[in-house]
Amino acid sequence: MTANPIPPAEARSLAEGHHGDPFSVLGMHSEGGRLVVRALRPEADAVELLDRKTGRKLADLAPVEGAGGVFAGYVPRRRNRFAYLLRLTRGGEVWTEQDAYAFGPVLGETDEYLLGEGTHGQLWRALGAHVTRHEGVAGVHFAVWAPNAQRVSVVGDFNGWDGRRNVMRRRGATGVHEIFMPGLSDGTVYKYELLDSAGQLLPLKADPVGFGAELPPKTASVVRDLARYDWGDGDWLTARGDLHKTDKPISVYEVHLESWRTVPEDGNRPLNYREHATTLVGYASDMGFTHIELTPISEYPFGGSWGYQPVGMFAPTARFGVPDDFRALVDACHGAGLGLIVDWVPGHFPTDRHGLGRFDGSALYEHADPKEGYHPDWNTLVYNYGRAEVANYLTTNAKFWLEEYHVDGLRVDAVASMLYRDYSRQEGEWVPNIHGGRENLEAISFLQRMNEAVYAAHPGVMTIAEESTAFAGVSAMTCDGGLGFGFKWNMGWMNDTLRYMAEDPVSRKYHHDKMTFGLHYAFSENFVLPLSHDEVVHGKGSLLGKMPGDDWQRFANLRAYYGFMWGHPGKKLMFMGCEFAQAAEWNHDQSLDWHLLQHGPHKGVQNLVRDLNRLYRHTPSLYELDNRAEGFRWIDGGNADMSVFSWVRYGKDGSAPVLVVANFTPVTRPDYRIGVPAPGRWAERLNTDAETYGGSGQVNADGATAEPMAAHGCDHSVVITVPPLATAFFQLAPQ
């Protein structure tokens, strides 16, 4: 009696797509001293077995009755395993291909161990889709974490999107499934098909660790080979650590790539990564910024989210090109002496069917309880930071952008929403922590570990928190109980000062404290002063639109405010368009209004921002002691009636101090006496009322010489003209 090369029940299970361990059946196996080969090829009418080395036919694989698409047969006169090919026939078409089930696993024992405990430091090197050679054959290795799935398949055009054909190998208790697919290469489009624990078919899923994606609105992942780019920024990477310290000048230009500038001659399409590498990089460099910060570029399905609802955490959005194109943008920044920061979103993810939500049929990445796992503000899902594999996924994603794309910093979005379990929730809508409190202890621990991992692997980078509460120690070291960020956005300063600027100058004396209050806590964190995209959207208007008065006063107010900001302790951040006084609220669907630069007042503001950056970068007293109280001294912070503020900025030993005087009324103050901390000549370095900026030209061209006359608690004082709605900078000249 002839042995059956495959049990009928197993054959039917394979044909129906319910077999959970196809590698135990398909491919070549030694059974009873004989070699048997089985294949699942529902697209073929006939299958032949060939010797891969000689190309000689060895056997016909017979179709299995009652299990359409399953073929099986014994190999005559062979006892030892060998490399083989399959020759398939359909109608009059004949082709030869490799069999994925002929190959052993790719992941090793170390990978399996680290994946199992959720501590793999380079997760993206194990999971995702990797172009590689395995057992001497070129192809792509796929691996995905889905511990509760009954089966996982990789699908694409290469198998007719048939989830039965390439069911993956489960790697023990790790929850990881993998398969090597011979013959595939860079550019292959794919998704994962999963059956949940009950055998129910789930929506096709994009790869959580996919390195590329289709151009939205398409949602599949795309195989991208990350090993080919030839970087040219070695010198920059070596030197950048010194540029990111608290005693260095940092002035950031925040950009939404899709709307920064478009190409009218080509249907108003946005610039691509390589075009930005020339145009945007050249512009930011000319404007004197030290860094460009990009709104999130991790792949996102909905353009209106500006990237803040990402699905492809490991994939630069395909809207502007392929991964190597994004690398070219980073490389160009470094070549121009600019750092590149990307906004990073570990706080939540969207509910799109192809995304992470209920990835394997269970609440895998998110919490099962919507009181913990659903974010009401954004209709999104919240990561389960207490699960080791999820925390590892996010931590290694942070490292991925720094290592594979050489980015210089991560601005972490919506940190406050992560820190508090009751964030934007009413009583009864949230779950207290184990101590009954509102702090999200798991998220706090995750942020601490993430910062430790990032700085340990790449000490020259910086992490920046967008954190809007008074949570203590955001930029303190984790060993001291802090979160470990390098810097924190000063949202309080931004809110207070913009409210002040919106007041009519006549009323500002009643709101004087809004401009001074920030100095009570200015040195409690390593602060960045942000004028971000959030201040020019959702009906808030533009920064220029917030300013009161006629056209001249509106521009003068804005120039004075920028001067106040650049003279204030803290690193600087400005959203695109604000540097030339964009008049309309930002619209992410269209280009900035670059034509406004044809008009003098807008050009004047642009000139001012360029000069403020240059003054800032070449004046150590404006940045060296940004986060230390000894770097700042009020001269007169209490002149509410005149709405005049004056203070001195100090640098380290040998840095000449800078006097900053800001007048927020449209009244000129001639012969205004101000105390100064040292005798000598105080040269006017910049005055926002200069004609080149669109001002009235009431400057102190000759500076002022200190007299031995006491004022404002100083032994010496100067007499200057304080221009209307303006900020002026004076620096002690060398003796």
Tokens of 183: 């013959």
Q: Helix, strand or coil for residue 619?
A: coil
Containing 583, the helix (H) or strand (E) segment is none
Give me the mean pLDDT over the 233-262 stretch.
Answer: 97
β-pair type (251-255, 632-639): unpaired
Q: How far is Cα 538 from Cα 511, in angstroms, rounded to an integer?
A: 25
* CATH superfamily, with its number, for domain 623-732: Golgi alpha-mannosidase II (2.60.40.1180)
pLDDT > 60? residue 1: no
Give me the mean pLDDT over the 356-363 stretch.
Answer: 97
In the prediction, which pLDDT does 654 show? 83
Q: How far is Cα 726 from Cα 441, in angstroms, rounded to an integer?
A: 46
Give me the mean pLDDT over the 450-460 stretch.
Answer: 97
Q: How far is Cα 395 from Cα 446, in angstroms, rounded to an integer?
A: 8
In the prediction, which pLDDT does 79 show? 78
How far the first Cα of the chain sits from its last, in Å, is: 109
pLDDT tens-digit readout, 273-308: 999 999 999 999 999 999 999 999 999 999 999 999
- Equal CATH topology for 246-350+410-617 and 623-732: no
Counting residues of the chain whose pLDDT is more than 70, the rounded percentage is: 100
Tokens of 152: 């996982």
Residue spans of the domains in the chain: they are 8-102, 109-222, 246-350+410-617, 623-732
Give me the mean pLDDT over the 64-70 stretch.
Answer: 92
pLDDT tens-digit readout, 9-62: 999 999 999 898 999 999 999 988 899 999 999 999 999 999 999 999 999 999
Question: Given pLDDT bands bounded at 50, 70 and 90, which one contains residue 399?
Answer: very high
Across-strand partners of 558? none
Cβ atoms of 408 and 240 within 8 Å: the answer is yes
The CATH number for 109-222, chosen from 3.40.50.1000, 3.30.70.20, 2.60.40.10, 3.90.1150.10, is: 2.60.40.10
In the prediction, which pLDDT does 555 show? 98
Give me the mean pLDDT over the 255-270 stretch.
Answer: 95
Q: How far is Cα 659 from Cα 692, in angstroms, rounded to an integer?
A: 22
pLDDT > 60? residue 474: yes
Known catalytic residues? 413, 466
Closest of 106, 101, 105 to residue 37, by C-alpha = 101
Which DSSP symbol is given to 313?
A: E
**What is the chain's mean pLDDT, rounded?**
96
Q: How far is Cα 569 from Cα 588, in angstroms, rounded to an integer?
A: 31
Q: pTM for the complete prediction? A: 0.95
Give me the mean pLDDT over the 131-147 stretch.
Answer: 97
In the prediction, which pLDDT does 199 show? 94
The CATH number for 8-102, chosen from 3.90.230.10, 1.10.10.10, 2.60.40.10, 3.40.50.280, is: 2.60.40.10
Counting residues of the chain whose pLDDT is more than 90, the rounded percentage is: 95
In the prediction, which pLDDT does 33 show? 84
Q: Cα 105 from chain centroid?
A: 33
pLDDT tens-digit readout, 408-438: 999 999 999 999 999 999 999 999 999 999 9
Helix segments in 83-208, DSSP class H = 109-117, 123-126
DSSP string, 499-564: HHHHS-TTTGGGGTHHHHGGGGTTTSS-EEEEE-GGGGSTT---HHHHS-SSHHHHHHHHHHHHHH
pLDDT tens-digit readout, 185-202: 999 999 999 999 999 999
Comparing 19-33, 176-190, 202-216, 632-646, the range with the smallest average pLDDT is 19-33
Q: What are phi and psi of 362, to 5 degrees?
A: -120, 170
Amino acid at residue number 23: F
DSSP string, 684-707: EEEETTSGGGTS-----TT-EE-B
In the prediction, which pLDDT does 340 show? 98
pLDDT > 70? residue 504: yes
Q: How far is Cα 124 from Cα 153, in angstroms, rounded to an integer?
A: 19
Q: How far is Cα 60 from Cα 57, in angstroms, rounded to an integer?
A: 8
Question: What CATH number belongs to 246-350+410-617?
Answer: 3.20.20.80
In the prediction, which pLDDT does 3 show? 60
Question: Given pLDDT bands bounded at 50, 70 and 90, which one contains residue 4?
Answer: confident
Burial class (CB in 10 A: 0-12, 13-18, 19+), 171: buried
Give me the mean pLDDT over the 552-566 stretch.
Answer: 98
Give me the mean pLDDT over the 85-98 stretch.
Answer: 95
